[in-house]
Amino acid sequence: MDDIQYTERALGCERRLYRVAIALLRSDADAADAIQEAVFKGWMHREALRDGERFEAWLMRILVNECRNIQRKWKGRPEPLNEQIVSAQGAPDPALQDAIRRLPERLRLPLLLHHLEGYSLREISSILKIPETTAKSRLYQARSALRQALSPEVGR
Amino acid sequence: MKDLNNAFPDTPEYVRHAIHMGLNRARRRQALKRRLFALASAAAVLAVMLGALTLAVNERRLAGTRLRSPNPGPLAHGYATDGPTPKPLPKPTPEPTAVPLPTAVPLPTAVPLPKAVPLPTAVPLPTATPMPTPVSRPTERPTPMPSVLVTALPTARPVVDAGLFTPMPTAYYPAKAAVYEAAIVPEMSEAADSEVVEQFVYSTKNGKYYHGDRSCSGMRGASARLIAEAEKLGQSACPICMPEDPTVWMTRAGKYYHDSEDCSGMRYAVAMPESEAIASGRKLCPVCQSSRVRTLRTDFYSTDGGKYYHADPECSGMLGAVRRTEEELQKLGQGPCPVCVGNP
């Protein structure tokens, strides 16, 4: 994969990169750092990608790893302050955004990757390095938690 | 189920900016890698060239060290010897080059010819064993000393009938020059690959040794002859004046060559074969010479009431000297003559 192809495909999945990064880090600054580092590492090791059709999953895996690296750094410093957390005002459905943000990360990420980004259970297990059954279970739990969080609204 | 996409706002501009920043960083890193690789390649090439240069310089130094080593081997300084007797003997050439030479300027009598050719002199030729004929001829270039060239000999040493050869006037053959003729005449040395220069030596008819110095050990009545002739008479090389070409030492500016590297406190001496030292015009150091005489000789000359013993029986006009062994001299309490034996 040459430089031009890589650039085009990376820019083509910028929305996905943003949603995963922000879902994991909840901070614009950290999300930007994670995206930049993921694109940088992906470009440096682009020759290692054997199947070009799996580029997005491959880049997403790098991004998740970078997000976890940043989360690891949080151990030395506090998590992003509330004002630093991306505001819900820009979202079309602030309640849904708030409900998703309240989900624990282990449930939030499989939910986003499956229902928002369209990855299969096998791809999710590959990206998150978890068994498929675990991914399926977490997906189920996430849906239940989200349903419960949104139930008053749904029942309205 | 609700559309989860509504939970996220539109993609902010910083995402695209972050992607471009990551790409630019990666491209800069790649360029840096290429530059470093080019630099490393250049450094490697430079290191290899430097290593080769150092190796060449060290080899030269090593060669110089070998030359200066106290006991260099026979091949250490590049001078090959033919065997136990390094005196240049005629070497058999693989292809006999018995080129008929113009006989306009033949040597007086020492021209052995094939049997078919009638000899100008009534000299009996050896007919029992047919041998390739040594052809004597004058050198093409005029050289200061006449010489006899022996060509195409299948045997290791030329066999020249003593009766065929009449020695040249001895005035042409200074003692050392005759011995180391090949070394003195560089033109002859160049021809030595195919043609070997026969040497002239001095010996008496009944002597045990043949000599390079006609006055060696007070010898009188010696006549010049080829080495082959002398060996045919059962004589061998004098260990005093014709030792096997040993390694000697000398400095660049020195007048003498020496048997030891540090003779007389000498420094920065260079090793070389004695023939080469002689060819360069140096003489044997008197100290080393006396040491050689004392080492090799077992008998000297002295009178009954004399104070010294001598290597030369006529040294200092001495008369009535008697040949004595070292034990006899010790009994008489005589010391070495400072003129002909030298100080210990």
Same domain, A12 and A68: yes
Nearest by CB to residue B4, choosing from A35, A90, A116, is: A116
Residues A103 and A74 in one domain: no
- Largest pairwise CA distance in chain A: 53
pLDDT band at residue A51, thresholds of 50, 70 and 90? confident
Task: With a cut of 50, say whether residue A32 has pLDDT above it.
Answer: yes
B163 in the same domain as B100: yes
Q: Any idea which residue has 């007048």 for tokens?
A: B255
Q: Domain range spanning residue B191?
A: 77-195
Do A61 and A4 have their domain in common? yes
A138 with A100, same domain: the answer is yes
pLDDT at B72: 46
User: Is residue B300 in some structural domain?
Assistant: yes
Domains held by chain B: number: 2
Q: Are residues B174 and B85 in the same domain?
A: yes
In chain A, residues with a C-beta closer than 8 Å to the C-beta of B13 are: none
In this complex, do B25 and A19 lie within 8 Å of one another by their Cβ atoms? no
Q: What mean pLDDT is predicted for residues A15-25?
A: 86
Return the DSSP state at B221: S
Q: Which residue ranges in chain B fall short of pLDDT 50?
A: 72-197, 344
Cβ distance B9 to A150 less than 8 Å, yes or no, reads no
Taking residues A99-115, report their average pLDDT.
85
Which of A14, A20, A24, A36 to probe by mutation at the B interface, max B CB count within 10 Å?
A: A36
Q: Do A43 and A101 belong to one domain?
A: no
Would the CB atoms of A111 and B4 count as touching at under 8 Å?
A: yes
A·B CB contacts under 8 A:
90
Question: Could you count the other beta carbons within 10 Å of the beta carbon of residue B108?
Answer: 9
**Tell me, what's the ipTM?**
0.78
Is residue B34 included in any domain, yes or no? no
The residue from A86, A102, A117 where one domain ends is A86
Q: How many other C-beta atoms lie within 10 A of the C-beta of residue A132?
A: 14
Inside any domain, residue B168 = yes
Instruction: Verify that A46 and A97 share a domain, yes or no.
Output: no
| Helix, coil or strand: residue B74 | coil
Instruction: Look at phi and psi of residue A19 and say left if phi exceeds 0, alpha if psi is from -120 to 50, else beta.
Output: alpha
The strand ranges marked E within chain B are 149-150, 196-197, 200-203, 209-210, 223-226, 236-237, 247-250, 256-257, 270-273, 283-284, 299-302, 308-309, 322-325, 335-336
**Same structural domain for residues A56 and A92?**
no
CATH code for the domain of A23: 1.10.1740.10
* Same domain assignment for residues B86 and B190: yes
Residues in B closer than 8 angstroms to A96, CB to CB, are: 2, 4, 6-7
Whether residues B86 and B189 fall in one domain: yes
Rounded Cα distance between B69 and B245, Å, is 17
Q: Nearest-5° angle of CA A30, CA A33, CA A34? A: 85
Pair A11, A40 in one domain: yes
pLDDT digits (tens, 9 = 90+) for B218-274: 777 788 888 888 888 888 888 777 766 778 888 888 888 888 888 878 878 888 888
- Of the candidates B245, B344, B223, the residue with the CA atom closest to the CA atom of residue B293: B344
My answer on whether A115 and A102 are in the same domain is yes
Task: Determine the pLDDT at residue B77.
Answer: 45
Average pLDDT over residues A86-92: 60
Question: B82 and B174: one domain?
Answer: yes
Indicate whether A119 and A75 sit together in one domain.
no
Q: Looking at A86, A101, A133, which one is the last position of a domain? A: A86
Confirm whether B27 is domain-assigned. Answer: no
pTM: 0.40
DSSP strand pairing (B236-237 vs B209-210): parallel
Residue B201 has φ and ψ, to the nearest 5°, of -130, 175
> Which of residues A66, A86, A106 is at a domain's end?
A86
Cα–Cα dist B22/B14, whole Å: 12
Q: State which residues form the domain around A49.
A: 1-86
Chain-centroid distance of CA B291 in Å reads: 22
**Pair B82, B184 in one domain:** yes
CA–centroid distance for A97 within its chain: 14
